[in-house]
Amino acid sequence: MDIDRRKDLGLLALRLGAGGVLMAHGTQKLFGWFGGGGVDGTAKAMEHMGFVPGRQSAIAAGLGEAGGGALLALGLATPAAGAAAAGAMAGAVSVHAPAGFFAQGGGFEYPAFLGFVAAGLGLAGPGRHSVDHFTRHRLDRPAVLALAFALSAAAATVVVGRRTAALAAAAAPGEVSDGDPLSGVDA
């Protein structure tokens, strides 16, 4: 087997594996599948983690994971898929970062790994065994790549920044609640 064929099969394996894991996590959030909380349960958890409003955060995270994962698995709009999944994982990394790197201690190792794989696939492209290849890469062009990663990075920066601010406000003693579910919460 020649090296190009091996690379295409390797990209297919990575897309199917990472895309499948991301889809499973996203469907937990969106539909409650695989023991997940669904949108309502995830919304409560998201608010507890500082992502407000919780419902919109749950839907965005679920779509980034399930949608990005499905598109990665198919090899469709691969740059946008990789960027969306990587952006969703940036939020998860921000939650786990205080616990350090390694997953066994609650750290960010696992979401960071999924994010890096998704970003890598988005940058590398899907290979020959993909819908993008079949459609002559109409949604896998340099402009799509640049726009998708720029938007994902900007969105992740805003979301993580808002989370940090919400957590800081919740931790500040004597703050008056402004309707934010984290304001004035006693830990």
Question: What is the tens place of the pLDDT at every residue in 135-177?
Answer: 999 999 999 999 999 999 999 999 999 999 999 999 887 654 4
pLDDT of residue 43: 97
pLDDT of residue 143: 96
Single out the residue of 4, 80, 66 nearest to residue 29, CA to CA: 66
Say if residues 122 and 142 touch (Cβ distance below 8 Å). Answer: no
**Residue type for 28, please?**
Q
Angle ∠(71,137,60) on CA atoms, nearest 5: 30
pLDDT of residue 38: 98
> For residues 168 and 57, what is the distance between their CA atoms, to the nearest angstrom?
18
Q: Rg of the Cα trace of the chain?
A: 18
Question: Per residue in 81-130, pLDDT tens?
Answer: 999 999 999 999 999 999 999 999 999 999 999 999 999 999 999 999 99
> For residues 105 and 11, what is the distance between their CA atoms, to the nearest angstrom?
31
pLDDT of residue 181: 46
> For residues 130 and 117, what is the distance between their CA atoms, to the nearest angstrom?
17
The answer, yes or no, to whether residue 187 has pLDDT greater than 60, is no
Say if residues 139 and 153 touch (Cβ distance below 8 Å). Answer: no
Question: Per residue in 29-51, pLDDT tens?
Answer: 999 999 999 999 999 999 999 99
Distances (CA, A) of 120 to 56, 88, 103, 156: 27, 15, 21, 17
pLDDT of residue 175: 55
Say if residues 39 and 58 touch (Cβ distance below 8 Å). Answer: yes
Q: What is the pTM of this model?
A: 0.89
The DSSP-derived string for 120-147 is HHHHH---SSSHHHHTTTTT-SHHHHHH
> For residues 54 and 62, what is the distance between their CA atoms, to the nearest angstrom?
12
> For residues 89 and 117, what is the distance between their CA atoms, to the nearest angstrom?
10
Number of helices and strands (H, E) in the chain?
A: 7, 0
Q: Across the chain, what does the average pLDDT equal? A: 93
